[in-house]
Amino acid sequence: MSHTRLPGHIPRLITALFACLSVVFATAACADNSDRVPDEYISFFGGEPQNPLVPSNTNEVNGGQVIENLFTGLAEYTPDGEVRMGVAESITPNDNSTSFRVRLRDDWTFTNGERVTSDSFINAWNWAVQPEHAQLQSAFFAPIKGYTDVAGETDADGNVTVEPTAETMSGLRKISDTEFTITLSAPDSSFVSLLGFSAFAPLPSVAFEDMDAFGAHPVGNGPYMMDGDDAWQHNVSITLRANPDYPGDTPAKNPGIAFVMYSSLNTAYADLQSGDLDHMRESVSPEAYPTYTEDFPDSHDDKPYAAIQNFTIPESLPGFGPDEEGRLRRAAISMSIDRQLVIDKVYFGTRRIAEDFGAPTLAGGLPDIPGKEVLTYQPEKAKELWAQADRISPWGGQKFEIAYNADGGHQQWVEAVTNSIRQNLGIDAVGKAYPTFKAMRDDVVNRTVDAAFRSGWNADYPSIASFLVSNYRTGDSSNDGDYSNPEFDRLLADAAAQPDAQQAQPVYNRAQAILMKDLPQIPLWYYAASTAWSPKLHNVQSGWLGMPVYTEITKDVN
């Protein structure tokens, strides 16, 4: 979320006017939101979700924030990132954490009145891993016994190596409507922490009648529900109203919330200043960093959270394969970037240079990873490494591009980073802009992006495993660079088999040391929730993921 800054300070009124005039394609550009969002609802910055709103097929923030408010899983996370029970009354592991007995509360229903039962979870999870459904988050269910029997198995190139032989996972066994067991293929003491992630949400029976239709208007069991048949106005807004029958511990204290879709953070910030938007969600616009604490002296935040900004260099890019040349070029790219200069100029010092592939706010803090010096600014060393790679195979003068979505405030940092690479390595390094997050993600998922691409990561659950497994394990859900290292995969399995998180940490550290050598992604800096909101809002706080704790916020309505 950065941009190179123009010198000087443009007066606030002019900045807002410029934003309205320059972003001609902004769906919410400086418009009055009252015709789309009821006055008493709280409006947040948002964007068009990539896919229909199905929990197991959503791995991006715009859809994820909606789904997390519509659904409650077996477990959930406190604002501080602690795991607590949700729909589950209890989740009891056996002695070696290979099997878990789940007992459900018997007072929970979906918003259509259907009771939430064991089948609501078992059927949803089995459906998600069946290959014909091609769910983005299906790999989250891989620890469950019988996953491969249902999902099949592919190699790093996407070739099928094991054909599916079953329709349901043998590790899921129903005992009654309120009890079932989950058996894993291997011990995993951290498995309960995964069960608060939205991919594990339950689904009502209506979902399986037409999943596409369901994704357009999902029926959940969370603190909010879709606000009428036209709740999702594509490229405009998604409105949710409070679920009056929510039995959980965190019912909504406001009547409803809305995610208003913008193609420009500048435009959204101008709307925040004018009172047409209530909250910027996780970040103000880059141009607002110098002044947002003055603009909103009593309603801003700058809290670190479990997220990192990086960019992926796919192994398919010429010169960046999984060989010595590729490793040399990746290290050279990393060492050529003056991260602190970008942080100071773009974020006004509100970020911290990354020293690993996770986040320092996770339990256990920031580990000391061998090889992390590759993330430091060493321009002369970078030149040497690039020259070594050239002796293996000449670069050839092609462009090195970093793709980004222009609607997320990333232009400035991409321009600053590519400028650093260009000046220090003497190559043609530039940004590649996509108009929307959805457009970029579609090309990333379809493997048609043909460039490096920004790939910041918010934790799905409060563990370093959320960063390492999803992004770097062979074939996993968000391994968009198609990285594969058998030794790294083995260490992840070894870490999961440890009896507790403390004993797993050194194993994860060894896995991270492998990433420091291979650099499938280039870590840049850790995020902070540099955000602001209307003074009309009360009880506002940023949670462990940097997002607002939506259910706690109230609003003064004139």
Q: What is the pLDDT of residue 329?
A: 98
Average pLDDT of span 363-367 = 83
Given a contact cutoff of 8 angstroms between Cβ atoms, the answer to whether 508 and 468 are in contact is: yes
Name residue 546's amino acid: G
Identify the band that residue 364 occupies on the pLDDT scale cut at 50, 70 and 90.
Answer: confident
**534-557 residue pLDDT tens:** 999 999 999 998 899 999 999 999
If one compares 9 and 177, the residue with the highest pLDDT of the two is 177
Instruction: Quote the mean pLDDT of the chain.
Output: 90
State yes or no: pLDDT of 435 exceeds 90. yes
Position 3 in a domain: no
The parent domain of residue 321 ranges over 305-528
User: Which two tokens mark 554?
Assistant: 């109230």
Quick: pLDDT tens for 380-414: 999 999 999 999 999 988 999 999 999 888 999 99
Same domain, 234 and 144: no
Q: Given 170, 201, 232, which residue is the final one in a domain?
A: 201
Give the single-character DSSP code of 400.
E
Interhelix angle 501-518/486-496, nearest 10 degrees: 170
Residue in 132, 149, 151, 154 with CA at minimum distance from that of residue 140: 151
CA–CA separation, 170 and 160 (whole Å): 21
**Contact of 382 with 423, CB cutoff 8 Å:** no
Cα 324 off chain centre by: 31
Structure tokens at 201: 């949400």
Does some domain include residue 313? Answer: yes
pLDDT at 28 over 50: no
Please tell me the least confidently modeled range out of 53-57, 86-90, 187-191. 187-191
In a shared domain, residues 326 and 419: yes
* Mean pLDDT of the region 451-479: 91
Q: Based on the domain organization, do 460 and 537 belong to the same domain? A: no
pLDDT at residue 345, rounded to an integer: 93
Please determine, for residue 29, whether its predicted confidence score (pLDDT) is greater than 70.
no
Residue type, 314: P
- What single string gives the DSSP state of each residue in 422-454? HHHH-S-EEEEEESSHHHHHHHHHTT---SEEE
Q: Indicate whether 514 pLDDT > 80.
A: yes
Helix (H, G, I), strand (E, B) or coil at 405: strand
pTM more than 0.85: no
pLDDT at residue 516, rounded to an integer: 98
The band of 160, judged by pLDDT with boundaries at 50, 70 and 90, is low
Report the share of the chain in percent with pLDDT over 90: 78
- Helix 265-274 and helix 12-22: axis angle, to 10°? 130
Residues 344 and 256 in one domain: no
Q: What is the CATH number of the domain that holds 174?
A: 3.90.76.10
- Same domain for 237 and 380, yes or no, is no
- 479 lies in some domain: yes
HSE (CB half, 13 Å, CA atoms) of 429? 21
Token pair belonging to 229: 């048949």
Predicted pLDDT of residue 155: 65
Cβ neighbours of residue 159 closer than 8 Å, sequence gap 6 or more: none
Q: CA-based angle 374:379:382, to the nearest 5?
A: 55
Are 21 and 81 found together in one domain?
no
For residues 165-194, give the mean pLDDT: 95
User: Within its chain, how far is the Cα of 482 from the centroid?
Assistant: 18
67 within some domain: no
Tracing tokens 């996780």 back to the chain, one arrives at 282
pLDDT band at residue 157 using 50, 70 and 90 as cut-offs: low
The answer to whether residues 549 and 479 belong to one domain is: no
- Helices 379-392 and 411-425, axial angle in degrees (round to 10): 70
Domain final residue, candidates 153, 181, 201: 201
For residue 476, name the pLDDT band (cuts at 50, 70, 90).
Answer: confident
Residues 6 or more apart in contact with residue 68 via CB below 8 angstroms = 198, 222
Decide if 100 is inside a domain: yes
Q: Is residue 52 part of a domain?
A: no
Confidence check: pLDDT of 176 > 70: yes
| Better-predicted residue by pLDDT, 4 or 153 | 153
Beta pairing partners, 302: 530
> What is the pLDDT at residue 407?
85
- b/e burial code for range 302-333 (CB count within 10 A of at least 16 → b): eebbbbbbbbbbbbebebbeeeebbbbbbbbb
Could you tell me the CATH number of the domain that includes residue 29? 3.40.190.10
As a whole number of angstroms, the distance between CA 547 and CA 490 comes to 33
Domain shared by 222 and 330, yes or no: no
pLDDT at 136: 85
Residues 345 and 437 reside in one and the same domain: yes
| pLDDT interval class at 159 (50, 70, 90) | low
Q: Residue 477: its pLDDT value, please?
A: 77
Please name the helix (run of DSSP H) or strand (run of DSSP E) that holds residue 77, with its range, or none. strand 75-77
Burial class (CB in 10 A: 0-12, 13-18, 19+), 381: middle
Q: Write out pLDDT tens, residues 189-224.
A: 889 999 999 999 999 999 999 999 999 999 999 999
- What percent of the chain lies above the pLDDT cut of 70? 92
**Together in a domain, 41 and 124:** no
For residue 282, what pLDDT band results from cuts at 50, 70 and 90? Answer: confident
| 388 and 272 part of one domain | no
Digit-coded pLDDT (tens) for 307-356: 999 999 999 999 999 999 999 999 999 999 999 999 999 998 889 999 99
Calculate Rg over the CA atoms of the chain. 23
Number of domains forming the structure of the chain: 3
- Is residue 112 within 8 A of residue 101, CB to CB? The reply is no
- 161 and 174 together in one domain: yes
- Residue 8: the pLDDT is 28
* Residue 6 in domain: no
CB atoms inside a 10 Å sphere around CB 447: 13
Q: Report phi then psi at 346, rounded to 5.
A: -95, -40
Residue 27 has pLDDT above 90, yes or no: no
The interaxial angle of helices 486-496 and 464-472, nearest 10 deg, is 150
Residue 242 pLDDT exceeds 90: yes
* pLDDT of amino acid 203: 98
Residue at 188: amino acid letter: D
Are 311 and 454 in contact by the 8 Å Cβ rule? The answer is yes
